[in-house]
A and B are shown apart, each in its own frame.
Chain A
């Protein structure tokens, strides 16, 4: 393997390939900032342009693009609460409050460094796992998928902070909303009110854009002024502090990167679940979970590390089985086939240098993207000083056009608007929004996997206790439920003691 990696590195000696890497990174960064576009659309747009290129150069261009697109989306998530893609929505939760407090520099610095570290950990995990990837992916069947979704949902109780009952209310309601559409397991339509559009279910990206970007625009339109709150000063000098924060909080980076790697390697789970799960686990592991959502730097580090570790891990099932880990990987599979590469177990034997070149490009693009992001912080952070009444029509127009461009479906714009109003009402009446996001993402996965498990076992629950992976996951779920309750009791006990003293 060492020889192959050295051989792959030699591809980067050529100026042409370095130019493709830089081009891919810049395209990813710029297009990543446009809400709704995301990696899949950008990759699809670039794919035809690679047709005449040699395969390795095309893979380097794609790697550059895939590695940086998430970074672009996260920059806008931090600065204007508008995630470029669904996974970046988790970065809004603490990144945007930091911007409002004038700490945009710290947030961008933390984002850049955690992105790079996450990508590096993801790539090393990928390199370590590739030889045994087949076994790892085969260890996950419907029962494990179901338990993974349940694990994600337990994050609802953690993410709700001191509003457990409100969080559970929004979460269970969100799961019901996720059932809208065609019932893939039993057949027939559910809650579609006769609408053909709704039979596809609630589209996730428009819903996310509504919940975060549009609801924020409603708030800004009411409030006026600028994004950075009056009296706060946008601090650019904090970039280095942010960069150091990722090293200071290395357990958060490591844990989140591993979550990203595991979730990324499982087809169908996706980056949104990875980023929110990493965020929730970080909240749970902290001694002061109630302070998250108010501008904690760990709240930026965790999702970013997970998102970028996931990018590399997504390649595991895509390359070794030809099973795309997500929509972006499905487009990437198309690109591989366009270049005459057949995905599957033989891929690493026949095209190992090309694949390792892709992995290296993915890593380098995260590093280049991070540097570009930090260099451009001054002009980027100026966005937060603009009069919001210029920002509101601009963001709404980009969100509408971005939403429409995904499926060329005008009703997606209505979904964005409806979720925008719903998201604003949730904020206004102090209901947490995060449980709704988790429910929309994980609800269908949980139902499908559970039904498949029941079909396999003829209704028996024994299968959950027969597999080691299932047992480990159940242990983690139990821990995720018990730990916050135990911590709550401890806090109350301490508070009572403090009050008595």
Chain B
């Protein structure tokens, strides 16, 4: 029997390569548990796809390893799948977390304060703190964006923008 060639992309025990499939595995198991709480007819289709998903997640984990089966399967099912890195390899994890935090904060601000407050607040703070614009440029930019949104949606389209949970 011919021994398959070593997988050059194999993570060789690097935990970073396994984070995403392990998170997917946890999610799939959660949905599996939830499916069994559904009625017998309702859970048929979801179970079919959850078990398929589990099989693919396990296969994804397998092809990342350097075991014989992983090396045989990788060129067949994931030839273009490169190992993943959370840190290093030119990734700015701090900036990525920061950018995601801005998005989530903006959404939370919309929900709580409404769009008429959240949009100018987010635009000005983003340009001041993240983009490091001069205060006049940031404030002018934020005012232009907010006025444009208000004019388009409330003025032209007659859609009342969300006023927020705190100001119903």
- For residue A389, CB closer than 8 A to chain B, the reply is yes
Return the chain A residue nearest B16 by Cβ: A429
What chain A residues lie within 8 Å of B59 (beta carbons)?
A: 165
Inter-chain contact B50/A176, CB cutoff 8 Å? yes
Contacts A161-B80, A190-B42 known; A400 to B131 CB distance under 8 Å? no
Question: B122 near A172 (CB under 8 angstroms)?
Answer: no
**Contact indicator B111/A414 (Cβ below 8 Å):** yes
- Residue of B42, B75, B104 most packed against chain A (CB within 10 A): B42
In whole angstroms, how far apart are the Cα atoms of A77 and B82 in the complex? 27
Q: Is the CB of A405 within 8 A of B100?
A: no
CA distance A45 to B158 in the complex (A): 9
Report which of B38, B100, B146, B161 forms a contact with A190, defined as CB distance below 8 A. B38
User: Of residues 171 to 191 in A, which have CB atoms within 8 Å of B's CB atoms?
Assistant: 172-173, 175-176, 179, 183, 186-188, 190-191
Q: Is B41 an interface residue (CB 8 A)?
A: yes
Q: Does A34 contact B (CB under 8 A)?
A: yes
A389 touches B53 (CB 8 A): no
Q: In the bound complex, do residue A405 and residue B49 qualify as a contact, i.e. CB atoms below 8 Å apart?
A: no
Q: Report whether B126 and A393 are in contact in the complex, using a CB–CB cutoff of 8 Å.
A: yes
A421 near B142: Cβ-Cβ < 8 Å: no
Docked-complex contact A222 and B46, CB < 8 angstroms? no
Within 8 A of B (CB), among A416-466: 416-417, 420-421, 424-425, 428-431, 443, 447, 450-451
Q: Which of A176, A421, A428 contacts B31 (CB 8 A)?
A: A176
- Kindly specify which of A9-17, A100-108, A213-221, A367-375 makes contact with the partner chain: A213-221
Residues of A with C-beta under 8 A to B100? 218, 421, 424
User: Which residues of chain A come closer than 8 Å to B84, judged between CB atoms?
Assistant: 428-430
Contact of A404 with B162 in the complex, beta carbons under 8 Å? yes
Shortest C-beta distance, B100 to chain A (Å), equals 5
Chain A residue nearest to B144 in the complex (CB): A394
Bound state CA distance, A111 and B159, in angstroms? 31
- Closest Cβ of chain B to A281, distance in Å, is 20
- Minimum Cβ distance to chain B for residue A62 (Å): 17
Binary contact readout A189-218 vs B (1 if CB under 8 angstroms, 0 otherwise): 011000000000000000000000010011
- Chain B contact residues, majority secondary structure: helix
Q: Could you tell me if B39 and A172 are in contact, using CB atoms closer than 8 angstroms? A: no
> Are A397 and B123 neighbours in the complex by a CB distance under 8 Å?
yes
Assembly CA distance A174 to B110 (angstroms): 27
**Which of chain B's residues have a CB closer than 8 A to the CB of A389?**
126-127, 130-131, 133
B57→A169 contact, CB < 8 A = yes
Q: Tell whether, in the assembled complex, residue A397 and residue B119 are in contact, meaning their CB atoms are under 8 Å apart.
A: yes
Q: Does A408 sit at the interface, judged by CB under 8 A?
A: yes
Partner of A397, one of B49, B104, B130, B149: B149
Complex-state Cα separation, A394 to B124, whole angstroms: 11
Given the known inter-chain contacts A214-B103, A417-B104, please indicate yes or no for A169 contacting B56, CB distance below 8 A: yes
Q: Is the CB of A421 within 8 A of B39?
A: no
Closest B residue, CB atoms, query A172:
B53
Q: Would you call B78 and A164 a contact (CB within 8 A)?
A: yes
Instruction: Given A166-B60, A398-B149, A492-B75, answer yes or no on A188-B127 (Cβ-Cβ < 8 Å).
Output: no
- Give Cα distance in the complex from A450 to B45, angstroms: 10
Minimum distance in angstroms from A267 CB to a CB of chain B = 22
Q: When A and B form their complex, which 3 residue pairs have the shortest distance between CB atoms, in order from nearest? A: A162-B80, A389-B131, A417-B107
Known: A164-B78, A396-B122. 20 other contacts (CB 8 A): A37-B157, A162-B80, A165-B56, A165-B78, A166-B60, A176-B53, A186-B41, A186-B42, A188-B42, A393-B141, A394-B148, A397-B122, A400-B110, A410-B111, A413-B107, A414-B111, A417-B104, A421-B103, A428-B96, A431-B20
B residues lining the A interface (CB < 8 Å): 20-21, 24, 27-28, 31, 34, 38-39, 41-42, 45-46, 49-50, 52-53, 56-57, 59-60, 63, 75, 77-82, 84, 91-92, 95-96, 98-100, 102-104, 106-107, 110-111, 115, 119, 122-123, 126-127, 130-131, 133, 141-142, 145-146, 148-149, 152-153, 157-162
Query: Can you name 20 A-B residue pairings with CB atoms under 8 Å?
Result: A164-B78, A165-B56, A165-B59, A165-B60, A166-B60, A166-B81, A168-B52, A169-B24, A169-B60, A173-B24, A173-B53, A190-B42, A221-B95, A396-B122, A397-B119, A397-B122, A397-B123, A405-B157, A408-B160, A421-B104
